[in-house]
Amino acid sequence: MAAAAMRAAAMSLAAPGIRLSAVVRSLRAAVRSVCTQPVSVNERIENKRQAALLGGGQRRIDAQHKRGKLTARERISLLLDPGSFVESDMFVEHRCADFGMAADKNKFPGDSVVTGRGRINGRLVYVFSQDFTVFGGSLSGAHAQKICKIMDQAMTVGAPVIGLNDSGGARIQEGVESLAGYADIFLRNVTASGVIPQISLIMGPCAGGAVYSPALTDFTFMVKDTSYLFITGPDVVKSVTNEDVTQEELGGARTHTTMSGVAHRAFENDVDALCNLREFFNYLPLSSQDPAPVRECHDPSDRLVPELDTIVPLESTKAYNMVDIIHSVVDEREFFEIMPSYAKNIIVGFARMNGRTVGIVGNQPKVASGCLDINSSVKGARFVRFCDAFNIPLITFVDVPGFLPGTAQEYGGIIRHGAKLLYAFAEATVPKVTVITRKAYGGAYDVMSSKHLCGDTNYAWPTAEIAVMGAKGAVEIIFKGHENVEAAQAEYIEKFANPFPAAVRVLRVSSLVWAELGGSSAGGPGISHAAVSSGGLTGASPRWPHSHGWCWLSGFVDDIIQPSSTRARICCDLDVLASKKVQRPWRKHANIPL
C-alpha cells in the first residue's frame, strides 16, 4: 500500500517534466522549420534573379552579339551612370496559357522587357529596354504594363523616358491583349507629350503597330544596318503591291533619316548610339516645369568673332555655310544637329549660349539657296514646338529668298505645310532672338521668327536684304517697259537691299487690335491713337501689353549689328529674357494646320 502511494506520488511529480520535455521538442522543431524556410525562399529569389539577368539564355545572347547588337541589360548599363540603375518588376511573367505558353520553359522572369530608373550624368531618367532574346522582344500584356508603369512614374516625378526598342511586334499568342497593351502605351505617349521629354532609340526591328509609339515620342534615333521601322514588312509589300524591296530599303536608318524624316539621326552601332544619347540628354530639361539646363561655361559670353565680319560673300547669289556661323557663335563650337540628313535647306539643333541650352534654327544657303519647302517647314515646326514646350530659348539665323516654287510643292500642299512653321514661331512664348544675315524675302521673312510674330530681339547684319522679293524680279514688275532697266534695278537695290528700311519702320496697331488689348482712345501715355494708326510714332518705342502674348511697338529690326558682336549680343539678350513671362487667353487647345 505504501509502495503504491509512493509510485503515484513519483508519477505526479514527473508528469510536469514529461510535458516540459514535449514542449521543448516541439519548440526545437518549430525553430528548425522557421530557420530553414527563409533559406529556401532566398534561394528561390536568387535563382529567379539569375534567370532574369540571363534573359532568353546564353545561346540567344550569343546570337544577339553575333548580329552586332548588345543585350537589353548591356544597353542600359552603357546608357546610365554606373550603379545608378534601379530595376522594377524583375519577377513579372506573362499570363498567357494558350499554345503551350504556360509551360515552365516559356516563362521568363521580367518577360521580354527590362524597366526601371537611373541617372545620366546625375540627372534622373526612366528607361525601358526590350529584350530580343525573350520571344524576340515581342510585346505581351505584362510587357506593356511594365512600360506603362514607369511612364506613369516618370510623369508623376517629372523625368524623361527613354525607350530602347528591339522587338518583333505584338505577341501573337496573346491576341487582342497584346494589341490592348500597345494602345495603353500610345495613350501614355500622348498624355506625356509636352510634359516630359520622350526619346526612342530603335536598336532592332520595330514593325506593325509598334512603330506608332516611337512616332509619338519627341525624338527617334536609329542604329545603322541593325534597326528597321515599317508598318508592313517586305513580304507583305511584295504580296500586295508586287514590289521587291529589302528591309533596309523599306525601313532602314538611311531611308528614315534621308527620305521619310521619321528618324532624327542614325548612328554607326549600339555603343555609338548610346554614347551620343547620353550627350543629347544633357541638352534637355527634365520636364516642362523646369527651365532650360544651364551648365558651367568656360567660353566668354562677350567673345567677339571677327571671322563673321567676312563670312557672307559680297555676291548675293554666292552660297556660304550657315553651320559655320552657328559653330562660331555657340559655346565651344558644340552643336548637336537634329535631322542633319533630311531637308538640308534648314538647320535645327541644340547648342549652348553662356552655358544655357538653346534651340538653333537656320536657313542653309548651300542647299536650294535656303528656300523653305514642304519638308523643311515640317522639320522646323516640329523642332520649334518642342523647344517652346520645354522652355528652351530659340535663336534663328535667317537667309531665306522665299518659298520654293513649282507644281510639286503646290500639289504637295506647301501652303498648309508652310503654315506649320509660321504657326510654331507665332505660338512660341520662349525667348526668341533672330539674326538676319542676308536675304529675308517675301512671306518667308515673316515666317522665320520675324518681329511681327513676336520675336523678342531681331537683329540684322549690314549684309541683310529685307524686301518682298529680289531686285531683278521686283524691277521686272515695277519698271516693266522702262527704258533704263539697269538704273531702275540699281535704285531698287539702293532702297531695299540693305537693312535700313526695316530698322526705321514702326509696327502698326489697328484700332480694333488696340481696343481688344484694352487700349484707350489716347493709345497710352504720350501716344495718340492717330499716331498709332498711321505708324507715325517717334522717339522711345512703347510696349504692347505682353500679358496678351503680343510684341513691342518697335522697328522691324531692333539693331543693325556688326557680325563679330553677334555672340555677345545674343548672350546678353538671353540673360535679360530669362525672366520672360507670357500669358495667353485660355483655350482647350489650338488647331495647328496639320
Show which residues are catalytic: 208-209, 443-444
- The one-letter code for the residue type at 478 is I
Around Cβ 440, how many Cβ atoms within 10 Å? 29
With cell 531683278, the residue in question is: 472
Q: CA of 593: how far to CAs of 409, 413, 585, in Å?
A: 16, 11, 20
The CB-based long-range contact list for 29-33 (8 Å cut-off, 24+ gap) reads none
- The one-letter code for the residue type at 73 is R
Distance CA 65, CA 77 (A): 16
Q: What does the angle CA 436 – CA 442 – CA 446 come to, to the nearest 5 degrees?
A: 60
Environment class of 2 (CB within 10 Å of its CB; exposed 0-12, middle 13-18, buried 19+): exposed
- Of 222, 194, 228, residue with least CA distance to 210: 228
- The one-letter code for the residue type at 269 is N
Distance CA 424, CA 98 (A): 50
**Residues written for the chain:** 594
With cell 540628354, the residue in question is: 281
Residue 555 contacts residue 506 (beta carbons within 8 Å): yes
Query: Which cell goes with 411?
Result: 500639289
Q: Residue 194 in 3-state DSSP? A: coil
Residue 431: which H helix or E strand, with range?
A: none
- Of 350, 440, 344, residue with least CA distance to 394: 350
